[in-house]
Amino acid sequence: MDKSSDIELRLLIEAIYLKYSYDFRDYSGASVKRRVAHALRQFDCATISALQERVLHDPAAFMQLLQFLTIPVSEMFRDPSHFLAIRQEVVPLLKTYPSIKIWIAGCSTGEEVYSMAILLREEGLLERTIIYATDINPASLDKAKQGIFSLENVRAYTANYQQAGGQRSFADYYTAAYDYAIFDKTLRENVTFADHSLATDSVFSETQLISCRNVLIYFNKKLQDRAFGLFHESLCHRGFLVLGSKETLDFSAFGKQFEPLVKQERIYRKL
Partner 1 sequence: MNPVAAGPARVPGIEAIVIGASAGGVEALLTVFGELPSGFGLPIITVLHLPDERRSQLAEVFDRRVAMPVVEARDKEAIRPGTLYFAGPGYHLSVEHDHSLSLSQEDRVHHSRPAIDYLFESAADTYGPGLMAILLTGANHDGARGLAHVKQQGGTTVVQDPAEARVAVMPRAALALHTPDHILSLSRIGSLLASLEYSPC
Tell me which of 64, 146, 158, 245 binds partner 1, using CB under 8 A: 245
What mask, x for binding partner 1 by CB under 8 A, covers residues 225 to 244?
Answer: --------------------
Is 247 one of the binding residues for partner 1 (CB under 8 A)?
yes
Residue 128 CA to its chain's centroid (Å): 22
CA distance 252 to 265: 18
Given 232, 248, 255, 269, the residue binding partner 1 (CB under 8 A) = 248
Q: Is residue 211 at the binding interface for partner 1, with CB under 8 A as the rule?
A: no
Q: Which is nearer to partner 1, 82 or 270 (CB)?
A: 82
30 binds partner 1 (CB under 8 A): yes
By the rule CB under 8 A, 214 interacts with partner 1: yes
Residue 1's alpha-carbon distances to 6, 76, 175, in angstroms, are: 8, 40, 53
- Return the HEC string of 219-248: ECHHHHHHHHHHHHHHEEEEEEEEECCCCC
Question: Per rule CB under 8 A, is residue 33 in the interface with partner 1?
Answer: yes
- Give the H/E segment covering residue 174: strand 174-177
**Torsions phi, psi for 108 (to 5 deg):** 50, -130
| C-alpha atoms less than 13 angstroms from C-alpha of 2 in its C-beta half-sphere | 3
Q: Is position 218 an interface residue for partner 1 (rule: CB under 8 A)? A: yes
Quick one: which segment of 28-36, 89-97, 120-128, 204-212 binds partner 1 (CB under 8 A)?
A: 28-36
Interface ranges with partner 1 (CB under 8 A): 1, 6, 28-31, 33-35, 71, 73, 79, 81, 214, 216-218, 220-221, 224, 245-248, 250-251
